[in-house]
């Protein structure tokens, strides 16, 4: 398999763009936007928190689509896409969880609480971790790909649950950022959004989504290279 | 009856079958030989419709796999080294269950099950649970199960594995008498490591080696002693490679 | 289901010439469910293990959580569903391992039947066994937690919850049965996926038992019904991909 020059060039530009965006968003988070009224400096972590969440959400949607497409076409590339998306999705949702815990320590006075939103996010993370366990447990490569695709479709139910739980369970203390909030006008639940906060937030989310796509592209290339080497080894073995 | 053209099956990047061509006429008994890892099992699973070929054409009784698997399955009877039976059901219940799955008409089901039990000599144990059966009895019941729906093709996957001398002799008897093999009304493909039995039953021999048919010929053209030599020569290519 | 009539090439010693190409859908579902019930009625290995496990679990719960009356009402729903989920997982692993190890799963796949019919047949068996655990728990928890669980609405919740559990469970267990460490893998794969069912069933049960208003538990039952339906549909489409190579 040989990559075309133009594709490699596109990926290189996308990588530069991601780095650039990341630096700008870093600057925006720490310098452009001021500290939030009620929460102070600690609120700055919130941009990364949400950026990582959106990145992982996008990646899990990609994995869902890849799963469906694999079952339809049985083309290996969809399986590679699904695996790459879920690996990266796990990393981004881990960033999401860790930054959330750091934010929660001063604001909720605890690292972790069994709030519905936090619980479902943890379960979502476990579901995709289980996906990797499933892959590791099945030896026959075709069966592994099939099962992985089926499970990535099933596991998406946990993503769905994470998204809707805030609307169904009004007792969550987690702030609802996107869409109408059902929380009462409490201190924690109420994010006073200035223009600068909104701009920074949207920019960070955009940055993280771009970064996740760039990394996904790199990860797939890596997978392809590994396979190329495997195929060559196999060829050598068979012709020896 | 069975036509296989340029059949390829790969697992990941590993090609297990690398272009198999095979033709089995109605009434033939083909001994399908080959060392472990030669692709025998994969080939059989494809013929059973349990695995999809990567490329190539497989026609069974005029029906194409995998497109028309329902029609193909209706014509296949399978005896494997695994019993394919339920331990906690009786012999009769097992057969009745599979008769229903194969859509043997309700009116004939009971008769058919009892005829089969009689033919394999298990009619006295019809009400016993399979758990209490010896390995040989289980294999007899497995043959009855495979023939329940009167299939045109019989696939035997290492049927002698785990049988003692008596049970194996009985299986020989059942294959020739009950399965109607000698009358040529059924087409049979059998995989085995037992070259003597292969020679004894088969009309034709195919030897699989490195994912391809390394040898194909009728047993009438060789003597009993020749088969092991042919087998070693065909398969030997792997070890010297 | 289209039932085509054709004449396959058979030796035809005992059969009439005309035969259906594939076995009717409900005949497959029914005979598979019948087979599981018959085997279980004789051996009772699975159901006995599930029932014993749930008795022990409930005893441990009631022992570990020595609660006052109000707290008992609030926890009994959770105890009910946690026990059903764990006991059910125990049974599921057994039910599909039994098919795979003797090669009988292959035997089922060799028959001219729709794959999804096999799925629903298998699911019905698992559903009934899980339901047996559910109703045993109704008695046990009523006695040990002193909360009256003899309420038709709760039974509806149990039926819906067990149905969803058995559907998802059969689907996941038919994958995990092929894995190396399948006993370990099954709960790991299953629990995150059945969470929507367990959450809505627990919330509905708890809201009902703590005497909340209808609008507090009805949405959860509706959600449970929707989730059940989605997973039943998912089973129909996905089971083919699990068993077909």
Contact yes or no for C129/C46 (Cβ under 8 A): yes
Smallest CA–CA distance from A141 into chain B, residue: B12
Tokens of A103: 């934010």
Contact yes or no for C122/C177 (Cβ under 8 A): no
Q: List the single residue in C176, C188, C196 with the smallest CB-CB distance to A157.
A: C196
pLDDT value of position B238: 47
Q: What is the ipTM of this complex?
A: 0.84
Q: Which of B12, B45, B52 to mutate to test the interface with A (most CBs of A within 10 A)?
A: B12
- Give the model confidence (pLDDT) of B17-56 as tens digits: 888 999 998 888 899 998 887 888 888 888 888 888 888 9
Interface contact B13-A238, CB threshold 8 A = no
Which residues does A28 contact at the CB level (< 8 Å), separation at least 6?
Answer: A47, A199, A200, A203, A204
Interface contact A234-B241, CB threshold 8 A = no
For chain C, what are the domain ranges? 22-243
- DSSP conformational letter for B90: B
In the predicted model, is pLDDT for residue A184 greater than 80?
A: no
Q: How many CB pairs under 8 A join A and C?
A: 73
Query: What's the CA gap between B45 and B208, in Å, rounded?
Result: 15
- DSSP conformational letter for C112: S
Query: What's the CA gap between C9 and B68, in Å, rounded?
Result: 14
Q: Determine contact: B12 vs chain C, CB below 8 A.
A: no
Interface contact B11-A238, CB threshold 8 A = no
Q: Determine contact: C149 vs chain A, CB below 8 A.
A: no
Q: List the single residue in C171, C192, C245 with the smallest CB-CB distance to A126.
A: C192
- Give the model confidence (pLDDT) of A43-61 as tens digits: 888 889 999 999 999 999 9
Q: Give the 3-state secondary structure percentages of chain B, helix then strand then coil, rounded to 5.
A: 40, 25, 35
Pairing of strands B187-191, B153-157: parallel
Smallest CA-to-CA distance from B29 within B150, B190, B151 is with B190
CA atoms within 13 Å, Cβ hemisphere of C91: 36
CB contacts under 8 A, C 76-135 vs B, are: 98, 102-104, 106-113
More confident residue, B128 or C10: B128
A31-35, B105-109, B130-134, C62-66: range with lowest mean pLDDT: A31-35
Which residues does chain B have within 8 Å of residue A238's beta carbon, measured at their own beta carbons?
A: 15
Q: Determine contact: B103 vs chain C, CB below 8 A.
A: yes
Smallest CA-to-CA distance from C126 within C37, C191, C38, C232 is with C37
Interface contact A149-C175, CB threshold 8 A = no
Tokens of B85: 């039976």
In the predicted model, is pLDDT for residue A172 greater than 80?
A: no
Contact yes or no for A154/C164 (Cβ under 8 A): no
In the predicted model, is pLDDT for residue B236 greater than 50?
A: yes
Which residues does chain B have within 8 Å of residue A141's beta carbon, measured at their own beta carbons?
A: 11-12
Interface contact B14-A227, CB threshold 8 A = no
What's the 3-state SS for C6-58?
ECCCCCCCCCCCCEECCCCHHHHHHHHHHHHHHHHHHHCHHHHHHHHHHHHHH
Query: What's the CA gap between B192 and A135, in Å, rounded?
Result: 33
pLDDT value of position A240: 62
Assign B223 a pLDDT band (cuts: 50, 70, 90): confident
Assign A160 a pLDDT band (cuts: 50, 70, 90): confident
Beta bridge partners of B4: B22, B58
Average pLDDT by consecutive 10-residue portion of chain C (245 residues)? 42 49 89 92 87 92 80 88 94 87 85 92 95 93 88 94 96 92 91 90 91 84 91 93 83
pTM for the structure as a whole = 0.86
Contact yes or no for B145/B99 (Cβ under 8 A): no
Q: Which helix (H) or strand (E) holds B14?
A: strand B14-24
Contact yes or no for B4/B18 (Cβ under 8 A): no
Instruction: State residue C14 phi and psi, 5-degree precision.
Output: -120, -20
Which residues does chain A have within 8 Å of residue C197's beta carbon, measured at their own beta carbons?
A: none
Assign B186 a pLDDT band (cuts: 50, 70, 90): confident
pLDDT value of position C176: 93
CA atoms within 13 Å, Cβ hemisphere of A125: 16
Contact yes or no for A133/C188 (Cβ under 8 A): yes
CA angle centred on C122, ends C155 and A145, rounded to 5°: 115
Query: What's the CA gap between A209 and A232, in Å, rounded?
Result: 35
pLDDT value of position A192: 53
pLDDT value of position B179: 66
């Amino acid at each position: 398999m040989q990559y075309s020059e133009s594709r490699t060039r596109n990926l290189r530009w996308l990588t530069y763009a991601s780095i650039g965006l990341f630096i700008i968003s870093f600057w925006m988070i720490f310098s452009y936007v001021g500290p939030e009224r009620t929460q102070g400096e600690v609120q700055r972590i919130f941009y990364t928190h949400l950026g990582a969440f959106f990145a992982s959400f996008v990646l899990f949607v990609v994995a869902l689509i890849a799963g469906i497409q694999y079952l339809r076409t049985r083309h290996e590339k969809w399986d590679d896409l699904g695996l790459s998306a879920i690996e990266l999705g796990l990393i981004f949702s881990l960033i999401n969880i860790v930054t959330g815990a750091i934010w929660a320590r001063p604001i909720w006075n605890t690292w972790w609480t069994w709030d519905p939103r936090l619980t479902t996010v943890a379960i979502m993370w476990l579901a995709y971790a289980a996906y990797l366990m499933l892959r590791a447990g099945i030896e026959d490569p075709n069966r592994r790909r099939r099962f992985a695709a089926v499970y990535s479709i099933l596991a998406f139910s946990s993503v769905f649950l994470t998204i809707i739980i805030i609307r169904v369970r009004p007792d969550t203390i987690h702030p609802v950022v996107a869409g109408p909030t059902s929380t009462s006008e409490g201190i924690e639940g109420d994010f006073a959004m200035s223009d600068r906060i909104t701009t920074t937030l949207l920019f960070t989310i955009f940055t993280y989504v771009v970064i996740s796509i760039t990394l996904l592209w790199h990860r797939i290339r890596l997978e392809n290279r590994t396979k190329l080497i495997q195929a060559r080894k196999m060829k050598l073995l068979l012709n020896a | 009856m069975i036509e296989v053209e340029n059949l390829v099956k790969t697992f990941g990047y590993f090609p297990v079958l690398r272009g198999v061509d095979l033709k089995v006429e109605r009434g033939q008994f083909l001994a399908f030989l080959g060392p472990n890892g030669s692709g025998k099992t994969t080939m059989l699973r494809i013929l059973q419709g349990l695995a999809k070929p990567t490329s190539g054409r497989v026609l069974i009784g005029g029906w194409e796999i995998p497109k028309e698997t329902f029609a193909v399955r209706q014509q296949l009877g399978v005896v494997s080294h695994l019993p394919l039976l339920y331990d906690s059901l009786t012999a009769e219940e097992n057969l009745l269950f599979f008769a229903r799955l194969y859509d043997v008409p309700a009116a004939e089901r009971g008769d058919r099950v009892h005829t089969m039990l009689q033919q394999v000599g298990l009619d006295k144990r019809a009400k016993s649970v399979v758990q209490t059966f010896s390995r040989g009895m289980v294999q007899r019941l497995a043959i009855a199960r495979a023939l329940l729906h009167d299939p045109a093709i019989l696939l035997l996957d290492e049927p002698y594995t785990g049988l003692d001398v008596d049970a194996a002799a009985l299986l020989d008897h059942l294959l020739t008498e009950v399965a109607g093999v000698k009358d040529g009304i059924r087409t049979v493909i059998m995989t085995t490591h037992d070259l003597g039995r292969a020679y004894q039953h088969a009309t034709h021999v195919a030897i699989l080696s490195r994912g391809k048919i390394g040898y194909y010929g009728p047993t009438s053209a060789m003597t009993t002693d020749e088969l092991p030599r042919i087998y070693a020569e065909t398969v030997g290519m792997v070890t010297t490679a | 289901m289209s039932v085509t009539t054709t004449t396959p090439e058979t030796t035809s010693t005992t059969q009439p010439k005309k035969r259906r190409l594939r076995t009717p859908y409900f005949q497959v579902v029914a005979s598979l469910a019948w087979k599981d019930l018959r085997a279980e009625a004789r051996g009772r290995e699975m159901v006995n293990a599930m029932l014993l496990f749930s008795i022990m679990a409930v005893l441990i719960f009631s022992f570990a959580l020595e609660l006052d009356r109000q707290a008992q009402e609030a926890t009994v729903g959770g105890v009910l569903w946690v026990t059903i989920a764990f006991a059910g997982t125990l049974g599921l692993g057994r039910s599909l391992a039994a098919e795979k190890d003797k090669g009988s799963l292959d035997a089922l796949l060799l028959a001219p039947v729709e794959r999804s019919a096999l799925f629903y047949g298998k699911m019905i068996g698992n559903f009934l066994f899980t339901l047996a655990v559910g109703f045993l728990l109704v008695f046990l928890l009523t006695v040990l937690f002193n909360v009256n669980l003899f309420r038709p609405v709760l039974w509806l919740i149990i039926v819906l919850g067990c149905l969803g559990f058995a559907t998802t469970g059969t689907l996941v267990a038919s994958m995990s049965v092929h894995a190396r460490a399948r006993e370990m893998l099954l709960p790991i794969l299953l629990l995150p996926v059945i969470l929507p069912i367990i959450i809505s069933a627990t919330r509905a049960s708890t809201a009902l038992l703590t005497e909340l208003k209808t609008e507090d538990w009805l949405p959860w039952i509706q959600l449970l019904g929707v989730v059940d339906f989605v997973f039943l549909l998912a089973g129909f489409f996905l089971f083919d991909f699990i068993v077909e190579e």
